[in-house]
Amino acid sequence: MEPILQVKNLNHLYSAGTPFEHKALEEVSFSVNRGEFIGIIGHTGSGKSTLMQHLNGLLKPTSGDILLDGKSIWADKASTRQARFRVGLVFQYPEYQLFEETVYKDIAFGPKNMKLSAEEVDRRVREAAGFVGLTEKQLEVSPFDLSGGQKRRVAIAGVIAMEPEVLILDEPTAGLDPVGREGILKNIEDYRKAKNATIMMVSHSMEDVARLTDRLLVMNHSRLAFDGTPAEVFTHAEELVEMGLSIPQVTQVFLHLRKMGVKVENVYTIEQAIAELKRIRGGDVHA
């Protein structure tokens, strides 16, 4: 199967040709398959945000290329515009970009820009609202009357309504309470399953990425440091700590247990940990 998104030798210089010039991305290459759930982790300023903004053509690479379905998104103007719609990008704190009088109109902004028919816009708005758990009643209120978590859902629905094949989210759960976090993560997973969409999620929670993603991209100093399954990436515990990152707490506990001489396998999620404990204790563990 051909990858949906290919990033080839991507380089990006900010303020090229001035004294403030600095490298934000250096020789970044990877490819993304349809339906994958990818986590992007990295220290602040490691190039995550710059990378994300390249994937839908908001930033133009200094050199290198991005292929969507095998075709460069910079081939012509139409391809760039297509990339905006096919690769949906949810920024950090997306609730600050809401502007319409009603939730409905705000979610419809993206689909309307795609020049879809009125019926199609209506269908997409209602479906997107459904994915993030907004009620019919809430569609008619002003987005500014909603709570923080609900505003975040509206903003995410605004991108989902464009039905992007690749949905990229920059810390979608930042600043939310545990219930709100779980809710949003579940909405994202639902969207992926329903549309066989690719998800790329920037997160600072090692627990979340270990639990949800199939694959992790680790950014460090403008370069792609690791690219692999969470299990593979978290074996590099020391390097990750050096990059200002960490490994899931449960993994740390189990690594410690191993050092103490307990014969356990490496685990990355609570579920794995319970299973592993059950295995060595003979089924006598309560979560």
CB of 270 to another protein, least distance (A): 34
* Rounded Cα gap, residues 237 and 131, in angstroms: 36
Minimum CB–partner distance for residue 160 and another protein (Å): 11
- Of all helices (H) and strands (E), which one includes residue 37? strand 37-42
Shortest distance, CB of residue 122 to another protein, whole angstroms? 17
Q: Kindly state the smallest distance separating residue 98's Cβ from another protein, in Å.
A: 7
Could you tell me whether strands 166-170 and 87-90 are parallel, antiparallel, or unpaired per DSSP bridges?
Answer: parallel
Q: Which of 129, 77, 107 is nearest to 116 (CA)?
A: 107
Q: Measured from the CB atom, is 96 or 182 closer to another protein? A: 96
State which residue, 113 or 147, has the beta carbon closest to another protein. 113
Enumerate binding residues for another protein (CB under 8 A): 53, 56, 58, 81, 84-85, 88-91, 94, 96-99, 109-110, 113-114, 144, 158-159, 162
Q: Nearest to residue 56, comparing CAs of 80, 20, 77, 32?
A: 80
What distances in angstroms separate CA 264 from CA 93, 249, 260, 261, 279, one per listed residue?
40, 15, 10, 9, 9
